[in-house]
Amino acid sequence: MKKTALSELARRTGEPAISWLMKLTLDHPKLISLAAGFTDNASLPVAEAQTVLHDLLASPAGRPALQYGSTAGDALLRELTAVRVQSADGHRDARVHDPDRTLITSGSQQLLYLTTEALCDPGDIVLVEDPTYFVFLGITQSHGLHTRSIRMEHDGIDLAHLEQVLTELKRAGELPRLKMLYLVSYFQNPTGRTTSFAKKRAALELLQKFERAAGHPIYLLEDAAYRELRFTATDERSALATAFSHRVIYAGTYSKPFASGARVGFGILPPEIFTAVARIKGNHDFGTSNLLQQLLARALASGAYAKHLPLLQRRYAAKAARMTNAIREHFPAEVRWAEPQGGLYVWAQAPRRRTTGVKSRLFQAALQQGVLYVPGELCYGHDSARRRPNHEMRLSFGGAKDADIPRGIERLGRVLQAG
Amino acid sequence: MKKTALSELARRTGEPAISWLMKLTLDHPKLISLAAGFTDNASLPVAEAQTVLHDLLASPAGRPALQYGSTAGDALLRELTAVRVQSADGHRDARVHDPDRTLITSGSQQLLYLTTEALCDPGDIVLVEDPTYFVFLGITQSHGLHTRSIRMEHDGIDLAHLEQVLTELKRAGELPRLKMLYLVSYFQNPTGRTTSFAKKRAALELLQKFERAAGHPIYLLEDAAYRELRFTATDERSALATAFSHRVIYAGTYSKPFASGARVGFGILPPEIFTAVARIKGNHDFGTSNLLQQLLARALASGAYAKHLPLLQRRYAAKAARMTNAIREHFPAEVRWAEPQGGLYVWAQAPRRRTTGVKSRLFQAALQQGVLYVPGELCYGHDSARRRPNHEMRLSFGGAKDADIPRGIERLGRVLQAG
């Protein structure tokens, strides 16, 4: 029997880049991985988690924590989450974010998946940044979606290009298939760039201008996964703080700013999307582990989370500085890069002739030198209008050991200097 | 704007019955719920979890437990899981179940979802037991699948009816759309019945006979979620133990036999299905929480799990006896039911004229008396060949408090006697 029983979705689902990058890293413990988006090991809140879990399981709340909960999530965690985002957005008094439309998920990744399922049929169109988070491109490919890439400037997407693409889609009669714009709005994966509040607002206004021609709402999926990993005191407000809450799906996470092994994320969604996404989640798993939710709720309520966060931010800032100092020393001047203000990544752009893809001489030479990066081309959506850029590298300082960061950059610098 | 941006999948996804049953229960703390599939609160391993988590986080393994892992799951947990199922299947020496095709999931529910995504396109056909697990029917409906229901006998599906349905599908040219047979093989939800090994084997042989006409493999999705919740010493072997491992997708869980709040399940899959399902899981969440996986791996490795299980089995056996004793005392003789040998449910069949659906006088009268059950009709797939039976009740002794079980049954008995 030759024919497969696999679904179209399964046949469209390629091996995710993240899997083989993670596997290469796990399989070669001596390899210095500047590729994996792992979080910093040294600052994981081991003692905090131990205390919280011990107290939780010693308390009357311990038993319910080991029992099933509800699909939408623990009431206290939903409340604390809504209040936290509201406060970060600068609202001190009025209730802006409703816990009733806050959904707890297994990492923000699950929210991206659920949202895509809830909004998109095969053949639908999603706008993404150029470049964007490669696992999201895996989701769109798996669902048979078309992506249109919006150019980026240093403070986020190019609004003129967004308008141009929307106008093209309108002319081509394709707007009815456009469902959303996906933005990684804080310290973007892979570029490290943050979209300004003004730009998010303007992007939403543009989307709304085209809704009549689309015949349905066009949503903004704001992936704020890196929001709390900032190195500076000031926090860019989220677009959610505006009157656009009926069009914004906000994805946040406690994985990166607390414990990636606990995998608790969340979404704040327009009511009609909340209902659809929560129903689909009911079929996925009828709720994220209650034990993990209680861990996070208690860490938030006790102040352990708030106390840990600045330590973590300083730690990542130091690791970022370690990386950029090494880059300054070892990379040829022709490689361009920017000082990150948060997140986990430095985006390095080689001259166009220096290709960086998996099969390139550069990637293979780096691997031989024992250093791994994410080839930039993985972060670009398919776009028939242009060749996928392939001369960039995503360099992560998140998971690598302190000493390995300059060592890895030095090795990579040697490969780059060799030309 | 009237038109929705929701996908076809979202529009097909109704409110899952489990959500509103759970919500009714959580919202009415005085209601005696014999509906929710919750596990027993009193036997949740609070002390065991506390010890394991404390030791884990105090050890060098604590840090990695709070870090991301790989999509397929922790190597040790996969190994222990494969060995455990192999041993339950009576294989002491030879390696039968390969950890390489063992996938750790967020409850067995996630495996059911992933498998459906990997195998089924809208319009495809899935065979289910009649009745079957209602959340699985939610998944099939959401994906636009057709179900064909196979009658059940006291030891599992009616093989003659299975052959008849397969023959009908072949004649109608519909076999190419048939992807799998879904069996809840141990102490079935909702009937409590167990499919004998001989029947599983015969069912697989039947499926294989029709594969040529289907043009592709037809899989058996064996949902063994209740396998470890048996009241007797002997364990029915899984079909996996045979030479059919290339056609059987085995779904197991640690939620019900250990901690439902920890939500760790697993699948053992044919290699080609493993690859597809693992890739899709990569897009869902790139791996179940490492912390939860370490909790389970340590509970298994230390013997805490094995020590806890018989306590739990005795506890459920006692709760089941409590329920059946009360039924014997309070239900009219015309209501038929069977003594469960495991699992969480008693399936009660009223005479056909006594309808039990949500809108029935019986359901409403029961609600007024303060007792909730799962209407049997929710457990039947749509089948144009017959009206959905609606004179049965799924009664769960899992989550209810000891004293509430006879009290709830007494109330229900009064309603049933009132006629």
Is pLDDT at B19 greater than 90 in this prediction?
Answer: no
Side-chain half-sphere exposure of B116, counting CA atoms within 13 A? 30
**What residues of chain B, 334 to 373, have a C-beta less than 8 Å from chain A?**
none
B276 Cβ under 8 Å from any chain A Cβ: yes
| A19–B286 C-beta distance less than 8 A | yes
CA closest to B69 among chain A residues: A261
Q: Which of B44, B106, B278 is opposite residue A285, by nearest beta carbon?
A: B106
| B216–A4 C-beta distance less than 8 A | yes
A29 Cβ under 8 Å from any chain B Cβ: no
Residues from chain B contacting residue A260 (CB–CB below 8 Å): 66-68, 290
| A67–B41 C-beta distance less than 8 A | yes
| A3–B138 C-beta distance less than 8 A | no
B48 Cβ under 8 Å from any chain A Cβ: no
Residue B90 is predicted with a pLDDT of 82
Calculate helix-pair angle for A290-302, B290-302, nearest 10 degrees: 120
Residue B193 is predicted with a pLDDT of 96
**β-sheet bridge partners, residue B345:** B396
A124 Cβ under 8 Å from any chain B Cβ: yes
B291 Cβ under 8 Å from any chain A Cβ: yes
Q: Would you mind telling me the total number of residues written for chain A in this entry?
A: 419
Q: For A366-410, how does the pLDDT look when each residue is reduced to its tens digit (9 = 90+)?
A: 989 999 999 999 999 988 778 899 999 999 999 999 999 999 999
End-to-end CA distance of chain A: 50
B46 Cβ under 8 Å from any chain A Cβ: yes
B67 Cβ under 8 Å from any chain A Cβ: yes
Q: Rounded to an integer, what distance in angstroms lies between the CA atom of residue B243 and that of residue B89?
A: 13
Q: What is the mean pLDDT of chain B?
A: 93
Q: Rounded to an integer, what distance in angstroms lies between the CA atom of residue A266 and that of residue A271?
A: 15
A220 Cβ under 8 Å from any chain B Cβ: no
| A70–B57 C-beta distance less than 8 A | no
| B68–A260 C-beta distance less than 8 A | yes
| B286–A289 C-beta distance less than 8 A | no
Q: Look at residues B283, B140, B145 and name the one whose alpha carbon lies nearest to residue A145.
A: B283
Residue A384 is predicted with a pLDDT of 79
A276 Cβ under 8 Å from any chain B Cβ: yes
Quickly state the pLDDT bin for B94 (edges 50, 70, 90).
low
Reported pTM: 0.96
Q: Which of A255, A272, A285 is opposite residue B107, by nearest beta carbon?
A: A285
B168 Cβ under 8 Å from any chain A Cβ: no
How far is Cα of residue B396 from the mean position of the Cα atoms in its chain? Answer: 13
Residues from chain A contacting residue B135 (CB–CB below 8 Å): 282-283, 286
Q: Rounded to an integer, what distance in angstroms lies between the CA atom of residue A402 and that of residue B415?
A: 70
Contact A128, A220 (CB under 8 A): no
Residues from chain B contacting residue A64 (CB–CB below 8 Å): 41, 261
Mean pLDDT over B281-303 rounds to: 96
Contact A142, A13 (CB under 8 A): yes
CA distance A334 to chain B (A): 35
Residue A94 is predicted with a pLDDT of 63
Q: Which of A15, A263, A282 is opposite residue B18, by nearest beta carbon?
A: A282
| B44–A63 C-beta distance less than 8 A | yes
Q: Rounded to an integer, what distance in angstroms lies between the CA atom of residue A136 and that of residue A189?
A: 11
Residue A25 is predicted with a pLDDT of 73
Q: Look at residues B340, B176, B280 and name the one whose alpha carbon lies nearest to residue A110.
A: B280
Q: For B153-180, how does the pLDDT look when each residue is reduced to its tens digit (9 = 90+)?
A: 999 999 999 999 999 999 999 999 999 9
Q: For B201-252, how does the pLDDT look when each residue is reduced to its tens digit (9 = 90+)?
A: 999 999 999 999 999 999 999 999 999 999 988 888 876 665 678 999 999 9
Residues from chain A contacting residue B5 (CB–CB below 8 Å): 119, 179-180, 216-219
B144 Cβ under 8 Å from any chain A Cβ: no
**Residue B148: which region, alpha, beta or left (left: phi > 0; alpha: psi -120 to 50)?**
beta
Residues from chain A contacting residue B58 (CB–CB below 8 Å): 50
pLDDT < 50 regions, chain A: none
Structure tokens belonging to residue A346: 């430095």
Residue A24 is predicted with a pLDDT of 74
Q: Which of B57, B261, B289 is opposite residue A50, by nearest beta carbon?
A: B57
- The 3-class secondary structure across chain A, one letter per residue, is CCCCCCCHHHHHCCCCHHHHHHHHHHHCCCCEECCCCCCCCCCCCHHHHHHHHHHHHHCCCHHHHCCCCCCCCCHHHHHHHHHHHHHHCCCCCCCCCCHHHEEEECHHHHHHHHHHHHHCCCCCEEEEEECCCHHHHHHHHHCCCEEEEEEEECCEECHHHHHHHHHHHHHCCCHHHEEEEEEECCCCCCCCCCCCHHHHHHHHHHHHHCHHHHCCCCEEEEECCCCCCECCCCCCCCHHHCCCCCCEEEEEECCCCCCCCCCCEEEECCHHHHHHHHHHHHHHHCCCCHHHHHHHHHHHHHCHHHHHHHHHHHHHHHHHHHHHHHHHHHCCCCCECCCCCECCEEEEECCCCCCCCCCCHHHHHHHHCCEECEEHHHHCCCCCCCCCCCCEEEEECCCCCCCHHHHHHHHHHHHHHHC
Structure tokens belonging to residue B308: 């806890």
Residue A91 is predicted with a pLDDT of 77
| B71–A109 C-beta distance less than 8 A | no
Mean pLDDT over B309-331 rounds to: 97
Q: Look at residues B265, B217, B226, B280 and name the one whose alpha carbon lies nearest to residue B245.
A: B217
Q: Rounded to an integer, what distance in angstroms lies between the CA atom of residue A409 and that of residue A191?
A: 17
Q: Rounded to an integer, what distance in angstroms lies between the CA atom of residue B205 and that of residue B198?
A: 11
| A138–B282 C-beta distance less than 8 A | yes
Q: Which amino acid is at A417?
A: Q
**What residues of chain A, 84 to 113, have a C-beta less than 8 Å from chain B?**
106-107, 109-110, 113
A161: buried, middle or exposed (CB in 10 Å: 19+, 13-18, 0-12)? middle
Mean pLDDT over B31-42 rounds to: 89
B390 Cβ under 8 Å from any chain A Cβ: no
Mean pLDDT over B31-58 rounds to: 93
Q: Which of B5, B68, B282 is opposite residue A219, by nearest beta carbon?
A: B5
A178 Cβ under 8 Å from any chain B Cβ: no
Residue B340 is predicted with a pLDDT of 96
Contact B41, A69 (CB under 8 A): no
Residue B241 is predicted with a pLDDT of 61
Residues from chain A contacting residue B18 (CB–CB below 8 Å): 282, 286
Among A282-291, B9-18, B389-398, B405-414, the range scoring the smallest mean pLDDT is B9-18
Structure tokens belonging to residue A271: 């009511």
CA closest to B121 among chain A residues: A7
Residues from chain B contacting residue A70 (CB–CB below 8 Å): 19, 22-23, 26
Residue B372 is predicted with a pLDDT of 94
CA distance B298 to chain A (A): 16
Q: For A301-317, how does the pLDDT look when each residue is reduced to its tens digit (9 = 90+)?
A: 999 999 999 999 999 99
> For an interface test with B, which of A23, A284, A293 has the most B Cβ atoms less than 10 Å from its Cβ?
A284
